[in-house]
Structure 1
Amino acid sequence: MEKEIEATVDNAKIIAVAGKGGVGKTSLAAVIVKLLVQAYPDKKVLAIDADPAVGLSTALGIQVNTTIDDIRKAVISTVEDGNTKAAIELLGEAKYRIYDAIVEADGFAFIAVGRPEAEGCYCKINSYLKDVIRVLSKNFDYVVIDGEAGIEQINRRVMEKVSHLLLVTDSSKKGIQVIQTIRKVADELVMYEKLGAVANRLPDLSVKDYMDTGDIPVLAYIRDDRNLATFDLTGKNVFYLPDNAEIVKGAREALKKMKILKA
């Protein structure tokens, strides 16, 4: 589904993956990175882990040493110590320190946002860091965001606008209700170009006849895959998943329908 936006998204195709917990968002986001790297070896791909659990790093075989939140905390700590001048200097350097948090992998780059901000935090600092991430994304052709459950984090901490919003649900009523809620929030707060859903971890494809996502188009129906479950349990890199794995086939189908991959 397409939505008119007030401002064009920067050249990067920004794919945000959202939905309730436990529906396989992280695995799907990791597979999307895998498919983009395979399809566009000459393009720059950035994976952003916006989930405080930092699960995307495991799925992609990445070791995380520094997060965006680590940089934020360094600034806050300096303010709390009363050293305002040093804090201002740190803010000025933050843009460059962000690059220290980037991990270069085979065919893509990775960065983790870290733990979510708490109430009463330094909103101006967090807003600044959000802008830094937005600027950073301009250096890439494709950005894949694995978001925490809900849309607020994507809107307020990482990106103000995305080109593609991919909502993930399972066959439960709760999962469907969550993506419908995210859709409503997105329509009010997020600028996006295309939106669609993926029905993941289905016990059987027959259940799709009972799934009503309303006006959210379902781009792919993916059966539960025991091989993927094994990968999750052992922490294996999804890049080793075969091309005929259920989640790989489903992710490819969804990306083609969103015109991210060529049909």
Structure 2
Amino acid sequence: MKEEQKTTMIAVAGKGGVGKTSIAAAMVKILTKRFPGKRILAIDADPAVGLATALGIEEGKTIDDIRMEVVETVEDGQTKAAIELLGEAKYQIYDAVSEQNGFAFIAVGRPESAGCYCKINSYLKDVIQMLSENFDYVVIDGEAGIEQINRRVMEKVTHLVLITDASRKGIQVVQTIKGVADRLVMYDKMGVIVNRIPGPEAKNLVDTGVLPVLAYIQSDDQLAKFDLLGENVFFLPDEAEIVRGAAGALAALGIIETGEKQ
């Protein structure tokens, strides 16, 4: 009997402002083109909802919208109705998945605030895990830090990709995230992408410690223009720095073959 293929789950994390969302979007672009017959899911777990913009998607109902419906019903004293809503949450989350050209998308939504109920949050996290298992590849754009991915999305990923820029602060943050991930997240492989380096010689000055470098990506004027215009990252050419860098990282992780065209 043929063994069922394991879902490849890639979580992208790092300090705010280092370009992790653009890199996550580039990875979705590459996987969609490389594996047209596979099911690919993009999860926007960043409250800023930047991945939707980078992928040219209009955000719809989020997982947190569904959670708040249950929380508000509990707070109104309608326990029976809340239980019914929770039972329907699985189907609501599936309905909230937006089917795009070659991939699917769902947003976690805003940060949890007043009315945080552990049982509800735990149930929804389990539902997201079940949803993800229906896909071959999952790319998660996480909030700065790793605790949020662990707490609100899932506790196990196959690949953890940390993003830094060529700054001491960025490198310190990814090293801190690694320490947290080693305690809280089950992962198979981890590495760092050094983004927005000012030139090829700058990479010689970057010391990531024990974190293996998956790719160096130079500052990309073309991407900066796309960001300003709110353009879909899918329209970036394969030769763009961020697309080539993201492809190099995926190859270094063994997700795509080395030297493979995007």
Question: Is TM more than 0.5 here?
Answer: yes
Equivalent residue, structure 2, for 1:232: 227
Residue by residue over 1:47-68, the C-alpha shift from the partner in whole angstroms, topping out at 9 and shown as x without a partner, is 0000001000010011111000
Equivalent residue, structure 1, for 2:241: 246
Q: How far apart are residue 116 of structure 1 and its match?
A: 1.3
Between the aligned partners of 1:101 and 1:250, the Cα distance in structure 2 is: 31
Aligned length: 254
Identity across the alignment (%): 69
Between the aligned partners of 2:113 and 2:82, the Cα distance in structure 1 is: 20
Q: How far apart are residue 119 of structure 1 and its match?
A: 6.6
Between the aligned partners of 2:115 and 2:128, the Cα distance in structure 1 is: 22
Q: Tell me how large the CA RMSD over aligned residues is.
A: 1.0
Match for 2:138: what amino acid? V
- 5+ long unaligned stretches in structure 1: 1-9
Pairing partner for 2:113 from 83, 101, 118 = 118
Pairing partner for 1:90 from 81, 85, 90 = 85
Match for 2:252: what amino acid? K
Pairing partner for 1:69 from 41, 64, 70 = 64
Equivalent residue, structure 2, for 1:165: 160
Match for 2:51: what amino acid? L
For the Cα contact (< 8 Å) 2:71–2:115, is it kept in 1?
no
Equivalent residue, structure 2, for 1:193: 188
- 5+ long unaligned stretches in structure 2: none
Q: How far apart are residue 100 of structure 1 and its match?
A: 1.6
Between the aligned partners of 1:80 and 1:128, the Cα distance in structure 2 is: 18
Q: How far apart are residue 121 of structure 1 and its match?
A: 1.4
Give structure 1 regions of 4+ aligned residues with deviation exceeding 4 angstroms: none
Q: How far apart are residue 120 of structure 1 and its match?
A: 6.3
Between the aligned partners of 2:152 and 2:125, the Cα distance in structure 1 is: 5
Matched residue SS, 1:199: strand
Equivalent residue, structure 1, for 2:17: 22
Q: How far apart are residue 221 of structure 1 and its match?
A: 0.5
Matched residue SS, 1:198: strand
Equivalent residue, structure 1, for 2:50: 55
Match for 2:16: what amino acid? G
Q: How far apart are residue 118 of structure 1 and its match?
A: 2.7
Q: How far apart are residue 21 of structure 1 and its match?
A: 0.3
Equivalent residue, structure 2, for 1:137: 132
Q: How far apart are residue 19 of structure 1 and its match?
A: 0.2
Between the aligned partners of 1:149 and 1:119, the Cα distance in structure 2 is: 21
